[in-house]
Structure 1
Amino acid sequence: MKKVTMQDVAVKAGVSKSTVSQYINNRYEYMAKSTKLRVEEAIKELGYIPNYVAKSLKQKKTGTIGVIVANILHSFSTEIIRSIEDECGKNGFHLFVCNADDQPEKEKAYIEMLLAKQVDGLIIFPTNGNNDFYPLLKQSNFPIVFMDRRINQTIYPTLLLDNESASRIAVEQIVKSGRKKIGMVSTSIEKNVTPRVERIEGFKKALQEQGLEFENKWIIAKEPHDIVSELQQVWKDEKPEAFYAANDLSLIELLKFIKSNQLEIPNDIGVITIDDSPFLEIANTPITVIKQPTFEMGKDAAEILIKMIENKEFEEVYKEQRYTPFLVKRKSI
């Protein structure tokens, strides 16, 4: 079969080749609706497939963006990815999504693979283990946006939650319920992951603001598989009246512990967490959550990256942007 060309589409639609090119490149703001429809129908009827390789060589862009998440199991990560995809789709970009699994070596391998595929830019949830590698990318003027986590120096736009405010909201809500003995569960801070570290520090500050003392042993920051056993040890002594979970993975372990000890929420123990998911709203006792504006964050990350791709001199590349969390009050506190 003869390969269908752009010229074939132009003849079929009764338009110029440049008009077909404008349609393919999503530049039809000033194109008449009837013309757009004719081109669209001609493409469908002829089965024309644009030569994206030739297009990318001509434009010096591939129309692709890489997203490297630290851990795709977090509901936060999947919501961010969906928002990034929506915004990129509106602007004619496609995504490669990679899961670094909180491993710096895996993250670096994905960065190198995506660069080899000539993506136009990257959105990275950094693992904090490649701090010597990022400046090399910066020197090459490659567009990158960091999401959720900081590195030692702000060399790229960085978008993340106001984590201390999130912890303050959690403590305030627990205290309002009449509880003063408050524990916290988090996944490990061994790798100095920004949101975990900041939420724990914010938790300590919030307790001090409320005039409450905290027990170090009531702050559990472990790998998920170790959290339940640590909670069991805490429960043998003086028991907290409520727990604040720093993320969805630590919440799951907390709920496992509560179930195994046949405790009732909120009668026996209060629970509040950061990040929402559908099952929290329909649980036997709906869980109060502190939400991140994930769709706003993802949209902003994509917008900033696209500006950096389209304008290498984009000036606001070093800004750190914090987002305000908000409370979704349910029945667990």
Structure 2
Amino acid sequence: MEKKTTISDVAKFVGVSKSTVSQYINGNHQKMSADTREKIKKAIRTLNYRPSKQAQFLTTRKSNLIGVVVADISNMYSSLLLKGISQYFEHTNYHLIIVEAANSEIKEQKILQKLVDQNVEGIIIQPSNDNSTNYQFIANNQIPMVLVDREIEDSPWASITTDNESIVTKVMSSIVEKHYKNVIVVSQPIHRVNTREKRYNTIVDVARLNQLNVKLIEIDESHYLDIDQITKISKTGKTVIFALNGTVLMDTIKLLNDNHLTIPDDIGMTGFDDFNVTEIISPGITSINQPSKLIGETVAKCLDQILNGTPLVDLKVQTVIKSEIHWRNSL
């Protein structure tokens, strides 16, 4: 069995004390020359030394763990978001614990408590609701947290979101120009989910100003959508469906295809998110593209700055990331 390299082996290889190597591993470089740092770095690589995380925690009381909580990991938005977060942190000493709340407040609370128990140093979360009291215990434990995609009312935390109102307004302007009469909004439950509420309220506001009818259809975890409800509305006038996220958009397109409804002749179609699939679906779906990977990189950078002591007012990140519309032939 191959002998495991120890901190003593690294110290002997470099010709320094174990204390010096320990200080290097724990990031205490202030009193260490650049030459010594480089020698220790090369020795660790040459000897394939792997520091004990337990020992590091006992020495520094730092776990180097970041908790990342997403609402629905099956959503492509979440996958690209996680890719951006992980690519940022792979160049640091932090390690990620990635968990899914499955759009459940109860499950989310249990997950957050486990992360607290594991002594995570920071949390990135796509919150399940906008009630700040649900997250107060995170602040009480003095754990830095950054919100992504969704906001929380009266929140003390930084949040990275997209320009929901302005981008939805642009799509709605096109819907108005094309003389639609009805807008069917399809979404997972929107109550107290800040992003969904913003998107829906913007649709309603533009529709009201232009005398369009709006019907909200909320679907549950089974993603069941009643085609009869859609066709009944479409018979009253020119109708478009606006899906509030990518999962719902794909489900709705499949439903229309299965029931032989032609887009846009029988019914218009648009929504979030554009993951290239909407480009190859005939006739091409006009959709809103959120730069999910960039959002992930940005939220990771934001938390990293906070962990390094940057006050919220001095954060050097863009907190609202612009989306773009891919105009195609579905309206």
Q: TM-score, normalised by structure 1?
A: 0.84
2:240 maps to which of 231, 236, 242: 242
CA distance in 1, matches of 2:186, 2:11: 60
How many residue pairs match? The answer is 326
- Report matched runs for 1:210-229 at 5 Å: 211=210, 213-216=211-214, 218-223=215-220, 225-229=223-227
2:330 maps to which of 324, 329, 332: 332
| Map of 1:87 onto structure 2 | 88
Deviations 1:229-286 (A, max 9, x none): 4644535732434222111122123212211221222333332211122322222333
Moved more, 316-325 or 126-135: 316-325
Task: Name the CA shift for 1:285/1:200 in 2 (closer, same or farther; >3 Å).
Answer: same
Task: Name the CA shift for 1:322/1:236 in 2 (closer, same or farther; >3 Å).
Answer: closer
CA distance in 1, matches of 2:330, 2:285: 5
CA distance in 2, matches of 1:27, 1:290: 46
| Map of 2:281 onto structure 1 | 283
- Report matched runs for 1:70-85 at 5 Å: 70-85=71-86
Moved more, 52-61 or 22-31: 22-31
CA distance in 2, matches of 1:30, 1:266: 67
| Map of 2:146 onto structure 1 | 145
Residue 195 (structure 2) pairs with residue 192 (structure 1)? no
The 8 Å contact of residues 184 and 241 in structure 2, kept in 1 or not, is answered as yes
The 8 Å contact of residues 171 and 206 in structure 1, kept in 2 or not, is answered as yes
The 8 Å contact of residues 199 and 246 in structure 1, kept in 2 or not, is answered as yes
Task: Name the CA shift for 1:303/1:47 in 2 (closer, same or farther; >3 Å).
Answer: closer
| Map of 1:205 onto structure 2 | 205
| Map of 2:256 onto structure 1 | 258
The 8 Å contact of residues 71 and 101 in structure 1, kept in 2 or not, is answered as yes
Identity of aligned residues (%): 28
Query: Secondary structure at 2:287's aligned position in 1?
Result: strand
Query: Secondary structure at 2:150's aligned position in 1?
Result: coil
CA distance in 2, matches of 1:183, 1:330: 18
CA distance in 2, matches of 1:134, 1:158: 14
The 8 Å contact of residues 266 and 331 in structure 1, kept in 2 or not, is answered as yes
CA distance in 1, matches of 2:281, 2:300: 33
How much has 1:302 moved relative to structure 2?
1.2
| Map of 2:303 onto structure 1 | 305
**Unaligned stretches of 5+ residues in structure 2:** none
**Unaligned stretches of 5+ residues in structure 1:** none
Q: Residue 104 of structure 2 aligns to which amino acid in structure 1? A: Q
Task: Name the CA shift for 1:44/1:301 in 2 (closer, same or farther; >3 Å).
Answer: closer
CA distance in 2, matches of 1:273, 1:265: 14
Question: What CA RMSD, in Å, does the superposition of the two structures yield over aligned residues?
Answer: 3.2
How much has 1:309 moved relative to structure 2?
2.0
The 8 Å contact of residues 69 and 124 in structure 1, kept in 2 or not, is answered as yes
Deviations 1:147-198 (A, max 9, x none): 122223212112222222222122123344x342242332233542112111
Query: Secondary structure at 2:133's aligned position in 1?
Result: coil
CA distance in 2, matches of 1:231, 1:187: 14
Query: Secondary structure at 2:223's aligned position in 1?
Result: helix
| Map of 1:49 onto structure 2 | 50
- Report matched runs for 1:117-156 at 5 Å: 117-128=118-129, 131-156=132-157
Q: Residue 185 of structure 1 aligns to which amino acid in structure 2? A: V
CA distance in 2, matches of 1:30, 1:169: 56
Deviations 1:2-48 (A, max 9, x none): 5421231343456775775577568999856x985x76665455442
Residue 56 (structure 2) pairs with residue 58 (structure 1)? no
Q: Residue 219 of structure 2 aligns to which amino acid in structure 1? A: K
How much has 1:60 moved relative to structure 2?
2.7
How much has 1:91 moved relative to structure 2?
2.3
Task: Name the CA shift for 1:97/1:230 in 2 (closer, same or farther; >3 Å).
Answer: farther
How much has 1:306 moved relative to structure 2?
1.8
Q: TM-score, normalised by structure 2?
A: 0.84
CA distance in 1, matches of 2:219, 2:130: 19
The 8 Å contact of residues 180 and 212 in structure 2, kept in 1 or not, is answered as no
Task: Name the CA shift for 1:111/1:100 in 2 (closer, same or farther; >3 Å).
Answer: same
Task: Name the CA shift for 1:288/1:278 in 2 (closer, same or farther; >3 Å).
Answer: same
Task: Name the CA shift for 1:204/1:40 in 2 (closer, same or farther; >3 Å).
Answer: same
